[in-house]
Structure 1
Amino acid sequence: MLPDRYHFLTAEPHLIHFWAEQGIYAYDPQGSGPTYTIDTPPPTVSGELHLGHCFSYTQTDVIARFHRMLGERVLYPMGFDDNGLPTERFVEKTLKRKATEMEPVEFLRACREITEQAEDRFAALWQRLGLSVDWRYRYSSSSPEAQRISQWSFLELYRQGRIYTQQAPVLWCPECRTAIAQAEVDDLTDTTRFTTIAFSLADGATLPIATTRPELLPACVAIFIHPQDSRYAHLVGRTASIASAGFSPQEQITVPLLADERVDPQKGTGAVMCCTFGDSTDIFWWRTHNLPLRQAIGRDGRMTELAGPLAGISIKQARERILAWLAAEGLILHQEQIEHTLGTHERCGTPVEYLHTRQWFVRVLDQKERLLELGRSLRWQPAHMQTRYEHWVENLQWDWCISRQRYWGIPFPAWTCRACGTLKLARPEQLPLDPRQVLPDEPCDCGALDFEPERDVMDTWATSSCSPLLIGRLLDDPDWFARHYPASLRPQAHDIIRTWAFYTLVKALYHTGRAPWKEIMISGFALAEKSVKFSKSKGNSRYEPGHLIEQESADALRYWATGIRTGLDTFYNQASVATGRRLVTKLWNAARFAQRHISDLTRDEIAHRPALLLPVDRWLLSRLAQTVEVATAELRKNEYATARAEIERFFWNDLCDNYLELIKGRLYQADGAERLAARWTLYQALLAVLKLFAPYLPFVTEQIYQGLFRERSGDVSLHRASWPLEWLEWHDPEAEAVGSALLELLQQVRRYKAAHGLSLAAELACLRIRVRPALQPALQATLTDIQSATRAREVQFEAQAGEPLTISIQ
């Protein structure tokens, strides 16, 4: 039996314990029925979980619960992405110390301890939110299993010729002191000074060069002009120079003037300084024209010895000093403020540089067409997100740099022979291993035994991109892999299409030749103030999810999270949470009302449809069938919001506002077939509503089910019950026509009472209904319901042509 009030603060923790104790969400690998596997996003351990996570992970949970109720065996694991730069920065922030200030062993121990504590907090919040995860399949990207699959992937791609190492210009973050991939660069619009400086030609003429980066003058190796630019074409093959006593050990810098069609004559002065390296065009020119390498900026973001007296100072300081010296020497011709796009590291916001370093790369540029085809083999939801993926692939300029000059990550299973320089790889059966701790167990081909271990670690995306292979147990269980690969669903946010989605497709293409999932569901962002997404690393959420759940209920927070269509961004909306709480209360009150009338129904009465169902009952059943049909179709497309809206309309309007009002007269009758019809219909409709709401509001629906339906339903939990597909058989167009007429009748009566200042419960002496002849018999059959809903002591029917239904009241 249900108590007077629903107390979520006690009910929700109790149900979490009940679900765990009963194994309600446990995946049954030996069971029958289709398998539905979710490649769940492993949240990065880079801060605390926030409302944005509650937003997107609840949406995935709705889909998981729906498929479980469809009878599918749902493998719904949860992982944690806890290696790599984001976690390192989180640990440094927690310790208030840099990794470089600690012994490596001490720092790595702190990484393990802090990430384990954070992951336990993550898991506790997910459970409190009601995620139906099977925690037996919890994993982390730093676990031995993840290390093994990541290192195996490296060895396999190297064997295929897909991985290579070389000294090359790469994107570099001076703050994090590591190479980064193209996908980790965010574009930032910034204001800067565009300075035109005077280079001198051999004949004494001035060649104006405009630049936003005067600090790169010590690294200048050429000046480029467009071959068709009439102003400068005659200068090709000559040299230009600039005095450099203030910023270089050389007295002056002299560089050749070269022609290249990549120069934009309309930008700046039309003559462009090429430095190694200011941008990707500089890299192209350096390679194409075989230019020298002059590196003025070091890995720490400070000027190198190439900058002479400026060596050791920051980029910003060097820029100011060089500009001041140029101004003092009269070498600045013009200066203006402009807006330009600046590449910054997404992890810390620092402007990126291009440095020449040794890195590991995965070849992707030669596979663009195959990667596009693989993306097109998926069902994208929403569909337009596929375009984002394709734009990213089409505009790739770099192979994937997977090495990082950090500490906390999965090491490359390789060594280099100090005697002959040959690379020696670990054998697959040795994995996982740390080459910094373990030496090869056999000599190099040259006979030497002295090896230098690979000291870099893998990028975090190089490990998390193996998630379908990891949960699919590629290396250990071929039968399991065949059942779970490709996964059914990849849910993820739209900002990591260019990283997690793309890199996972790269690994899938190279390791399996097919897509890693059947469909991909892209979530939007929950936004903080100023339209900025909530971020773990920025800590910009003033709403703590655990506190909100204790204040508002998990169901109410889930209601807010599932009200926006797939892929759309939204702000946290307290009004939506409040609406969710009202829905919880309404469900409870409706169940409490129904309890008095359906609790004594026998199993036999429930199991068999009554011989007599009034038009009102058949109308509700038909509307329920429509609702199930629409909701099911939308949820199959992962459109949880439109499905929920349809369910809510049925519950609030059809069931509560209209059906319950219409049948109250029958419910309070002593006995009879009409009362049984109303009770049976109410029982079936309320149970179906609980099932429809169960993926969204798992707590209150379960509590009602346990108190009102479990004994007669037979399922230990509502969340192990079947989705109400049986209602699809109850479509009844004739009953719906009668129902529409009844609703019109009720609206007219309610308008009349409102216009005359009467309460809805006010009695009417006589209600005269003029209706089309075809509808009159059915409406007369609902006389009891009409009188119950309108409070009319007498009801008279008259036939009329034209309007379907009109009334007059005495």
Structure 2
Amino acid sequence: MLPNRYQFRDAEPRLARLWADVATYAFDPAGSGPIYTIDTPPPTVSGELHIGHCYSFTQTDVIARFQRMRGRRVLYPMGFDDNGLPTERFVEKTIKRKATEMDRAEFLAHCLRLTQETEDRFEALWRRLSLSVDWKYRYSTLSAEAQRTSQASFIQLYQSGRAYDQVAPTLWCPDCQTAIAQAEQDDKTLPTLFTTFAFQLPDGQTLPIATTRPELLPACVAIFVHPQDQRYTHLLGSSAHIASAAFSQQESIEVPILADELVDPAKGSGAVMCCTFGDSTDVRWWRTHQLPLRAAIDRAGRMTALAGPLAGLPITAARKQILHNLAEQGLILQQETIEHTVGVHERCGTPVEYLQTRQWFIRVLDQKERFIAAGRQIRWNPEYMRTRYEHWVENLQWDWCISRQRFLGVPFPAWTCRACGTLLLASQDELPIDPRQTAPGRACSCGSTDFEPEMDVMDTWATSSCSPLIIGRWLDDPAWFQQHFPASLRPQAHDIIRTWAFYTIVKAIYHCDTPPWREIMISGHGLSSERSKISKSKGNGSLDPQALIDQESADALRYWATSVKPGQDTPFNPETIAMGRRLVTKLWNACRFAESRLQDLDASSLATLPAEMLPTDRWLLSRLAQTIAFATRELEQGDFAAARMEVERFFWSDLCDNYLEMAKSRLYKEAGADRQVAQWTLYHALLGVLKLLAPYLPFITEEIYLGLFQQWDGADSIHTSSWPVAPENWIDLEAEQAGKFLIEILRSVRRQKAELGLSVGGALEALRITTSASGLPILQSAQSDLQSVTRARTIGFLLAPAAGSELLSQLRIELVLPQSNLPLNLLSEVGRD
């Protein structure tokens, strides 16, 4: 028996424990159904989960549950991305100590302890939210298995010539003190001073140069002008200088004046200084024109000895001091504040620099067309997100930098021979290995055993991009790998298309020559009240998911998370949460009503369509079939929001507002064929709705199923039951037209009652309906249901004198109140209602 009220605080934890105890969501490797593998995004261990995570991960779970009910064997693992800079910074913040302030082993021990504790909390929240993950397949990117996969990937890429090391200009974060990849750089618009100062020409004339980076003057190696700029063509081949003793180790900086078409003559004075390095254009000019290298900024973001008296100053302080010195010498010609776009590190927001360092790269620039073609073999949901991917690939300027100068990460499995400089790679059976702690087990080809270990670690994306290889057991189980690669689905957010999606495609193409998944479903972001992305780094996730679940229920939170289409951002909305709670309550109340009406249901007849169905029964059954077909189609395409909206409309309007009211008198009967038909129809409609909503609202649907429908349907759980499939003979377009006709009558009666100040359930002495010849048999068949819903003691049907085949064309309705023989309202046309 279903209790009077549904208590989610009791039911949800109880059901979560039940599912865990009996392994409801376990993947069956030995089963016979088709396999559906999800390459789940491993959330970064860099703080606590927030409702933005609940938003996107719930959407994935809806698809997993749907596919499981469709008969697929769903491999739904969960990973945690815990091997990189975000986790390292999280640990530093938690223990209130920098990694550089302690022994490497001590810091890594803190990392392992905190990541394990944090990941256990993540799992607890995911279970409480009811992600239908098979936790037997939980992994972390810092695990031995993941490290082994990542190191094997590196070795293969190096041996095929795809991975290489190089001393070159690299994007560098002074705060994190590590190289970063192009994909980790965001653009940020900041106010800044645009200063024009005077270089001197050999003839004593002034050459105005404008810049936002005066601190790079000590690193100036050339001045560029456009080759067609008539103002400066006579200066080409000459030089310019500026007195620099106050901000450089030199008395004067003298540089050549060169021509290049990248110069914008309309910007500033049209003459631009090239410093090594201020931006990517400086890097290009340095390479193209073979300019000298002058490094004025070090890895910590401080001025080098090249800055003379300013050596050791942070960048911002040096900038102010140089401007002060230039002003004292009378060299500043003009200053204005402008809005300037600055590249910043996405992890910490620090402006990035370009420093000459040794780094490891994976070649991607020479394979752009190949990666675009791979992207086109994948189904993108929504489709327009593929354009974002292609734009990113087309505009790549750098190979993928995968080395990081940090502590926590997957080590490069390599050593360099100190005698001859040969790079020695670990063998496959040695992986995973940390070359900083373990020497190679063999000598170099030159005979030396003196090696320098690789001290850098890999970027976290270099390992998380292996996620389909990790869950596919790429290295160890060819049969398993063939079953699970490519994966069926990659769900992820749109802001990491340029990183996780792109890098995973790169690895899959290089290692397997095939895209890593058949479909990619892009989620939007849950937004804060200020409509900005909720993220751990921004610290704007003020709503604690666990507290919200405890207060509102997991089902209500999942309802909000599935209210918009894939790819769309949406703010957290308490009103949507309240709508989810109302739906849960309505489901419970509708099924409690049905419980007493279905107690004597004839289970033997459930598979056979009744012979004598009323128009209302046939209408609801056809509407149910159409709803099942629509929801199934939309979920197969990944549009969970459209599917749920249609199911809700059917449940609230067709089933509850109309059918239950019309069939209520039949359901209250003690016996009879018309009661059995109503029972049969109600059973299929309610069970169908529960199954259609089960992926969205797993707790309430399971509680009702186990308490009411399991006795007839027979599955251990609604979540392992079969997805509803409507037989073709349920669809009846004529019945749907008849149903619309009856609902129009019902709407008219309700409207008239409201205008007369009567309650919807107010009794009527009589209802007189004038209809066309085509409508009369429908009304006669549905008379008992019309009386039930309108509360009319009698109903009289009159045939309209005028010809007309349209059901609504001749419809007129009269209401007669008790104790009166006069009609109280008359509608000549339903269209007026």
TM-score (normalised: structure 2)? 0.97
Indicate the residue corresponding to 2:81 in structure 1.
81
Indicate the residue corresponding to 2:268 in structure 1.
268
> Which whole-Å CA distance do the structure 1 matches of 2:23 and 2:490 have between them?
24
- For 1:547-586, what aligned pairs fall within 5 Å after superposition? 547-586=547-586
Query: Contact 1:221–1:256 (CA<8 Å) still a contact in 2?
Result: yes
Which letter does structure 2 place at the counterpart of 1:287?
Answer: R
Indicate the residue corresponding to 1:380 in structure 2.
380
Q: 1:807 aligns with which of 795, 808, 813?
A: 813
Q: Secondary structure at the match of 1:709?
A: helix
Indicate the residue corresponding to 2:828 in structure 1.
none
Residues 326 and 728 from structure 1, CA distance in 2 versus in 1: closer, same or farther, beyond 3 angstroms?
farther
Which letter does structure 1 place at the counterpart of 2:811?
Answer: L
Query: Contact 2:45–2:119 (CA<8 Å) still a contact in 1?
Result: yes
Indicate the residue corresponding to 1:324 in structure 2.
324
Indicate the residue corresponding to 1:600 in structure 2.
600
> Which whole-Å CA distance do the structure 2 matches of 1:57 and 1:806 have between them?
53
Which letter does structure 2 place at the counterpart of 1:730?
Answer: W
1:677 aligns with 2:659: no
> Which whole-Å CA distance do the structure 1 matches of 2:322 and 2:583 have between them?
66
Indicate the residue corresponding to 1:666 in structure 2.
666
List runs of 5+ in structure 2 lacking aligned partners: 817-833
> Which whole-Å CA distance do the structure 1 matches of 2:583 and 2:417 have between them?
68
> Which whole-Å CA distance do the structure 2 matches of 1:729 and 1:7 have between them?
39
Indicate the residue corresponding to 1:191 in structure 2.
191
Deviation, structure 1 residue 764: 1.1
Query: Contact 1:617–1:677 (CA<8 Å) still a contact in 2?
Result: yes
- For 1:180-259, what aligned pairs fall within 5 Å after superposition? 180-259=180-259
Indicate the residue corresponding to 1:168 in structure 2.
168
- For 1:260-659, what aligned pairs fall within 5 Å after superposition? 260-659=260-659
Indicate the residue corresponding to 1:135 in structure 2.
135
Query: Contact 2:80–2:119 (CA<8 Å) still a contact in 1?
Result: yes
Query: Contact 2:168–2:358 (CA<8 Å) still a contact in 1?
Result: yes
Q: 1:235-264 CA deviation, whole Å, 9 max, x = no partner?
A: 011111000111111100011111111111
> Which whole-Å CA distance do the structure 2 matches of 1:445 and 1:291 have between them?
38
Query: Contact 1:599–1:708 (CA<8 Å) still a contact in 2?
Result: no
Q: 1:73-102 CA deviation, whole Å, 9 max, x = no partner?
A: 000000000011010011111111111112
Q: 1:362-401 CA deviation, whole Å, 9 max, x = no partner?
A: 0000000000000111110011101100110000000000
Indicate the residue corresponding to 2:731 in structure 1.
731
Q: Secondary structure at the match of 1:725?
A: coil
Q: Secondary structure at the match of 1:665?
A: helix
> Which whole-Å CA distance do the structure 2 matches of 1:569 and 1:364 have between them?
31
Deviation, structure 1 residue 21: 1.6
Aligned length: 810
Deviation, structure 1 residue 420: 1.1
Query: Contact 1:628–1:727 (CA<8 Å) still a contact in 2?
Result: no
> Which whole-Å CA distance do the structure 2 matches of 1:84 and 1:541 have between them?
22
> Which whole-Å CA distance do the structure 1 matches of 2:406 and 2:726 have between them?
57
Which letter does structure 1 place at the counterpart of 2:181?
Answer: A
Which letter does structure 1 place at the counterpart of 2:304?
Answer: T
Residues 729 and 501 from structure 1, CA distance in 2 versus in 1: closer, same or farther, beyond 3 angstroms?
farther
Query: Contact 1:182–1:398 (CA<8 Å) still a contact in 2?
Result: yes
Indicate the residue corresponding to 2:826 in structure 1.
none
Q: 1:559-608 CA deviation, whole Å, 9 max, x = no partner?
A: 00000111000100000000100000000000000001002213213343
Deviation, structure 1 residue 729: 4.1
List runs of 5+ in structure 1 lacking aligned partners: none
> Which whole-Å CA distance do the structure 2 matches of 1:564 and 1:788 have between them?
38
Q: Secondary structure at the match of 1:488?
A: strand
Q: Secondary structure at the match of 2:606?
A: helix
Query: Contact 1:209–1:268 (CA<8 Å) still a contact in 2?
Result: yes
Which letter does structure 2 place at the counterpart of 1:45?
Answer: V
RMSD value over aligned CA atoms?
Answer: 0.9
Q: 1:249-287 CA deviation, whole Å, 9 max, x = no partner?
A: 110001111111111111110010000000000000000
Query: Contact 1:226–1:260 (CA<8 Å) still a contact in 2?
Result: yes
Deviation, structure 1 residue 804: 5.0
Q: Secondary structure at the match of 1:440?
A: coil
Query: Contact 1:221–1:292 (CA<8 Å) still a contact in 2?
Result: yes
> Which whole-Å CA distance do the structure 1 matches of 2:130 and 2:715 have between them?
19
Indicate the residue corresponding to 2:29 in structure 1.
29
Q: 1:29-72 CA deviation, whole Å, 9 max, x = no partner?
A: 10011100000000000110000000000000000000000000
Deviation, structure 1 residue 760: 1.1
Which letter does structure 1 place at the counterpart of 2:791?
Answer: R
> Which whole-Å CA distance do the structure 1 matches of 2:162 and 2:668 have between them?
76
> Which whole-Å CA distance do the structure 2 matches of 1:573 and 1:382 have between them?
23
Deviation, structure 1 residue 738: 1.0
> Which whole-Å CA distance do the structure 1 matches of 2:392 and 2:377 have between them?
17
Moved over 6 A (4+): none
> Which whole-Å CA distance do the structure 2 matches of 1:804 and 1:85 have between them?
74
Indicate the residue corresponding to 2:13 in structure 1.
13
Q: 1:605-633 CA deviation, whole Å, 9 max, x = no partner?
A: 33433332111111000000010011111
Q: Secondary structure at the match of 1:600?
A: coil
> Which whole-Å CA distance do the structure 2 matches of 1:806 and 1:78 have between them?
61
Which letter does structure 2 place at the counterpart of 1:463?
Answer: T
Q: Larger deviation: 366-375 or 601-610?
A: 601-610
Q: 1:767-802 CA deviation, whole Å, 9 max, x = no partner?
A: 111112112112201111000000111111112245
Which letter does structure 2 place at the counterpart of 1:101?
Answer: E
Query: Contact 1:83–1:409 (CA<8 Å) still a contact in 2?
Result: yes
Query: Contact 1:380–1:519 (CA<8 Å) still a contact in 2?
Result: yes
Query: Contact 1:741–1:804 (CA<8 Å) still a contact in 2?
Result: no
Residues 617 and 386 from structure 1, CA distance in 2 versus in 1: closer, same or farther, beyond 3 angstroms?
same
- For 1:695-706, what aligned pairs fall within 5 Å after superposition? 695-706=695-706
Residues 477 and 804 from structure 1, CA distance in 2 versus in 1: closer, same or farther, beyond 3 angstroms?
farther
Query: Contact 2:529–2:572 (CA<8 Å) still a contact in 1?
Result: no
> Which whole-Å CA distance do the structure 2 matches of 1:416 and 1:185 have between them?
31
Residues 728 and 646 from structure 1, CA distance in 2 versus in 1: closer, same or farther, beyond 3 angstroms?
farther
Q: Secondary structure at the match of 1:154?
A: helix
Q: 1:179-207 CA deviation, whole Å, 9 max, x = no partner?
A: 00000001001111110110011111111
Indicate the residue corresponding to 1:756 in structure 2.
756
Q: Secondary structure at the match of 2:227?
A: coil
Identity rate, percent: 67
Deviation, structure 1 residue 17: 1.1
Query: Contact 2:414–2:425 (CA<8 Å) still a contact in 1?
Result: yes
> Which whole-Å CA distance do the structure 1 matches of 2:37 and 2:797 have between them?
58
> Which whole-Å CA distance do the structure 1 matches of 2:65 and 2:810 have between them?
43
- For 1:35-114, what aligned pairs fall within 5 Å after superposition? 35-114=35-114
Query: Contact 1:566–1:639 (CA<8 Å) still a contact in 2?
Result: yes
Deviation, structure 1 residue 658: 0.2
